[in-house]
């Protein structure tokens, strides 16, 4: 495994409107100290952009995080074009509260996986943490930062309610 290119995370999303959620992913990646790039790529509105991104992703990224809402085919389509791990964040849609996004992303037929996270902000947070875990397998600095993040989370839980 070549080191540098596998330590960068691509954070892609189907629309500018998804960034409200996906900026949480970016915030966590920054805290952990992971390199990343953000892009708007729509599977149905910019299919050529999606194809070109996915086909060249292996030269640049170790993990792809894809946020999409509604009939959320972006993570699955990107995963079909690369073997880099793809983590899908179901965006909370207005009409069905993200249940549509969740089922679209989670119910990939066998053979082309997408690691599906929770709907909305929780999923956006955990996608960044899971990307960090994947990259930490080959990066001791990220591993240490991830362990520290967990430790500080544990310490933040008070023993008694106020």
Which parts of this chain interact with ligand RP5 (CB under 6 A)? Answer: 14-15, 17-18, 42, 68-70, 91
**Are the C-beta atoms of residues 7 and 132 closer than 8 Å to each other?**
no
State the nearest-atom distance from the C-beta of 94 to ligand RP5, in Å.
8
Q: By C-beta, is 90 or 139 nearer to ligand RP5?
A: 90
In Å, what is the CA distance from 64 to each residue of 58, 74, 151? 10, 11, 26
Q: By C-beta, is 119 or 146 nearer to ligand RP5?
A: 119
State the nearest-atom distance from the C-beta of 157 to ligand RP5, in Å.
33
Q: By C-beta, is 10 or 68 nearer to ligand RP5?
A: 68
State the nearest-atom distance from the C-beta of 132 to ligand RP5, in Å.
23
**Are the C-beta atoms of residues 105 and 6 closer than 8 Å to each other?**
no
């Amino acid at each position: 495994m070549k080191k540098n290119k596998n330590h960068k995370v691509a954070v892609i999303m189907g629309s500018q409107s998804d960034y409200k959620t996906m900026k949480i992913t970016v915030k966590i990646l920054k805290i952990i100290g992971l390199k990343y790039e953000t892009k708007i790529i729509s599977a149905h509105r910019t299919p050529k952009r999606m194809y070109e991104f996915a086909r060249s992703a292996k030269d640049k990224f170790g993990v792809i995080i894809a946020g999409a809402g509604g009939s959320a085919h972006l993570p699955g389509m990107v995963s079909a074009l690369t073997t880099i791990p793809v983590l899908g964040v179901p965006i909370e849609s207005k009409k069905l509260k993200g249940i549509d996004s969740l089922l679209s992303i989670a119910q990939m037929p066998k053979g082309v996986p997408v690691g599906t996270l929770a709907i909305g902000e929780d999923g956006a947070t955990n996608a960044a943490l899971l990307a960090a875990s994947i990259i930490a397998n080959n990066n001791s600095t990220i591993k240490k930062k991830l362990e520290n993040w967990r430790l500080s989370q544990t310490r933040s839980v008070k023993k008694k309610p106020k």
